[in-house]
Amino acid sequence: MRCFSVPDGARITHRLMVVFCIGWLLLANWISQHAYCQLSSTAGQVWKTYDVEPFLQVAGAGSEEHIVHWILQQTGYEQWHGKHAASLSADKTKLSCYHTPDMQEKVAAIVKRFTADGALPHRFQIRVIGIGSVRWRQQASETMTAMPTATAGVQAWVVPRENSAELLNRLLSRSDVEELPVGPVFAANGVPATLSGVRERTYIQDITINPALPNGWQPLSATCREGLSVDVQPLVSLNGELVDAVLRCRIDQIERMASVSVAVPVGDRPDVKLEVPQISAVRIGERFRWPVSRTLVVGLGLVPWPVPGQNKAASAGLFTEIKRSDAIVVIEPRLRNGKPEQSASPQSDIGWIQSRPYSSFFRQ
Burial class of residue 361 in the structure, from the number of CB atoms within 10 Å of its CB (0-12 exposed, 13-18 middle, 19+ buried): middle
| pLDDT tops 50 at residue 344 | no
Give residue 186's domain range: 123-334
For residues 180-185, average pLDDT: 86
Per-residue pLDDT reduced to its tens digit, 194-238: 998 888 889 999 988 888 888 888 889 999 889 999 999 999 998
Per-residue pLDDT reduced to its tens digit, 245-286: 999 999 999 988 999 998 888 877 788 899 999 999 999 999
58 and 166 both lie in a single domain: no
How far, in Å, are 226, 254, 278, 320, 349 from residue 316 at the CA level?
A: 14, 15, 20, 10, 7
169 and 101 both lie in a single domain: no
Three-class secondary structure of residue 310 per DSSP: coil
Give the total number of structural domains in the chain: 2
Which of 73, 94, 115 delimits the end of a domain?
115
Output 59 or 230, whichever has higher pLDDT.
Answer: 230
Confirm whether 84 is domain-assigned: yes
Write b or e for each residue in 197-215: b if 16 or more Cβ atoms lie within 10 A of its Cβ, otherwise e: bbbebebeeebeeeeeeee
Cα distance between residue 55 and residue 114, in whole Å = 6
Cα distance between residue 327 and residue 131, in whole Å = 6
Confirm whether 6 is domain-assigned: no
Confirm whether 313 is domain-assigned: yes
Quick one: pLDDT band at residue 67, thresholds 50, 70, 90?
very high
User: N- to C-terminal Cα distance for the chain?
Assistant: 89
Confirm whether 299 is domain-assigned: yes
Tell me if 276 sits within 8 A of 201, measured CB to CB.
Answer: no
127 and 85 both lie in a single domain: no
% of the chain at pLDDT higher than 90: 46
E runs forming strands in 183-340: 185-188, 193-209, 217-236, 242-263, 271-291, 294-304, 324-334
Residue 75: per-residue pLDDT: 92
89 and 213 both lie in a single domain: no
323 and 229 both lie in a single domain: yes
Nearest Cα to Cα of residue 101 among 51, 41, 53: 41
102 and 204 both lie in a single domain: no
Per-residue pLDDT reduced to its tens digit, 9-36: 666 676 777 677 777 777 666 655 554 5
Least confident of 38-52, 205-219, 233-247, 338-352: 338-352
Cα distance between residue 88 and residue 76, in whole Å = 13
Helix segments in the chain, DSSP class H? 8-34, 53-59, 64-75, 101-115, 136-140, 161-172
For residues 313-329, average pLDDT: 65
